[in-house]
């Protein structure tokens, strides 16, 4: 991905103003260059994080119970 200064500044302003995240999806190495595929995404809200943690813990306890009784 080749970006000019204006494009870099546009990405930077989106990340700072709107509280977005800049996420590297893939990294390619070509000689002395490293190329990135980037994505812009919103972060999770606090209630979404709690819900995700609750689901992970539930799955973990189910898996532990299955392994204990099998």
What per-residue confidence (pLDDT) applies to 26? 92
What digits encode the pLDDT tens for the residues 26-47? 998 988 888 888 888 887 777 7
User: Which two three-digit tokens encode residue 69?
Assistant: 């009784």
Averaged pLDDT score across all residues of the chain: 84
> In 3-state terms, the chain is what percent helix, strand and coil (to 5)?
55, 30, 15
Q: What is the pTM of this model?
A: 0.46
Question: Which residues, including other chains, have CB under 8 Å from residue 44's CB and lie 6 or more apart?
Answer: 52
What per-residue confidence (pLDDT) applies to 57? 94
User: Which two three-digit tokens encode residue 20?
Assistant: 């977005």
């Amino acid at each position: 991905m080749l970006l000019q200064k204006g494009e870099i500044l546009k990405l930077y302003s989106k990340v700072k103003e709107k509280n977005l995240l800049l996420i590297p999806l893939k990294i390619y190495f070509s000689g002395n260059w490293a190329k990135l595929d980037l994505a812009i995404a919103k972060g999770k809200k606090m209630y979404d994080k709690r819900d995700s943690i609750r689901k992970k813990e539930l799955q973990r306890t189910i898996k532990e119970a299955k392994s204990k009784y099998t």
